[in-house]
Amino acid sequence: MFMRERTTNSSVEAAYDDYLMPIWKSLNVPVERASGCTLEDFDGNEYLDVFSGISVTNVGHNNEAVVEAATEQLEEFVHGCSYVHPNRPVADLAETIAEVTPGVLQKSFFCNSGTEAVEGAIKLARKYTGSKEVISLEMGFHGRTLGSLALTGNRAYKQDMAPTINDVAHTAPPYAYRCPRCDGDTCGADCADALERVIGSHTSGDLAAVVVEPVMGEAGIVVPSEAWLKRVRDIAHDHGALLIADEVQTGYGRTGELFATEHFGVEPDILTQAKGIANGLPLGAFTAPAEIADAFGSGDHLSTFGGNPVACAAALATIEELQNGIIDNARENGEWLSAELATLESDYDVVGEARGLGLMQGIELVDPETTGPQHVAPAPDKDLAAAVGEHLREESNVVMGVGGYYKNVMRFQPPLTISQAQLGEAVDALRAALDDLA
């Protein structure tokens, strides 16, 4: 057995450069260990994590109950292919998801990731409806495999990857801050009527599904109105199509409810899940009512590793932890954070808008001297956002995501266990960065 040199931040990053395909993005925080809302790198530096691995570790890094559940299952067995050998963790998780998801969603398919969940949901919608066409939102994000990439409404993710699957069209998002029709007011049912125009102009009348994120994460924490989402659902149903709610990023307590659709009184026909479902273990799922789910027959869909019993055991523990006060914490601290970010919007001209639900919040950074796209709102300032993210890490040891369609949104998506004091630390660090850079 050969001896490795002492691991450092630089040695890990060098290994990534040498042996991983060059697609990884560095936040300059290699991780050796993590606990709660804290990351520690290989050089002993500690960071407050308000990004949680892209909205994944919802019940906190290294959550004791989740680790215990996964360890107990590891000691029993790791794999038998859950679609060949029925086992208790998969059965229990499927039953639990049927109990906690909105409406009459009952039967789940387990996979390994969000993009697989979206791909499977499209297949199920096509099988059930007998139709082929799908509509999603401009600026939306649904994954990077070819089917979900086709739904993603952002050229940055698709460049050099075309062609993707056919029969996909896009409609306008409920991005009120930059909506030429609303000019900062709420996008309501009238804006949702754009979907009718897209169906009439860009489809052949063979619509299987409309896919939406209840809160658009990669678009920049864009929150629709209840009227907008209900109108989209009604239009989809009027055309014999299903509404697929992509809750990969918004699910499992992130917005202050177990699922974000609960804020809007909308029950989806298919609901996709991943990210926070097992607190970091690879697991995804899509869930549908029995009538829709039973359109699948034996062999229509499968996954060798989907429904891994260790990941399912972790997911069961995650849901229990969420229901034991963590979702309440997300809701209460989310209200506090929303007020704090609204104050930043008032105090700084470069903060164009603060928005979000629960602990899925963001501020959009802008150049107040320049008009933005379609002559609506000030221009996005992605350079300032990148500089603020670096300032947070280097000066305050705070890890915060930078995203949005225009790459100008600072994203608060911490573990839902975060305390108000820790959130205050992150807000203070953000204010200090704006003072220094804006």
Q: How do the domains of the chain map onto residue ranges?
A: 9-62+325-437, 77-324
Q: Are 213 and 246 in contact (CB under 8 A)?
A: yes
| 191 within 8 A of 179, measured Cβ to Cβ | yes
On whether the CB atoms of residues 90 and 108 are closer than 8 A, the answer is no
Alpha helices in 189-308 (DSSP H): 189-192, 194-202, 226-238, 290-293
**pLDDT at residue number 1:** 43
3-state secondary structure at position 271: strand
User: Are the C-beta atoms of 211 and 195 separated by less than 8 Å?
Assistant: no
Q: Please provide residue 242's backbone torsions phi and psi, each rounded to the nearest 5 degrees.
A: -95, 150
Convert 332-358 into a string of H (helix), E (strand) and C (coil): HHHHHHHHHHHHHHHHCCCEEEEEEEC
Spans in the chain with pLDDT lower than 50:
1-3
Phi, psi dihedral angles at 154 (to 5 degrees): -150, 115
pLDDT, one tens digit per residue, over 341-389 is: 999 999 999 999 999 999 999 999 999 999 999 899 999 999 999 999 9
Please determine, looking at this structure, whether the domain spanning 9-62+325-437 carries the CATH number 1.10.510.10. Answer: no
Q: CATH classification of 77-324 is 1.10.287.70, yes or no?
A: no
Residue 310 and residue 281: Cα distance in Å, rounded? 8
CA atoms within 13 A on the CB side of 89: 29
What is the pLDDT at residue 185? 80
Residues 6+ apart with CB under 8 A from 304: 81
- Whole-angstrom distance, CA of residue 80 vs CA of residue 61: 28
pLDDT of res. 162: 85
pTM over 0.95: yes
The pLDDT, as a whole number, for residue 4 is 61
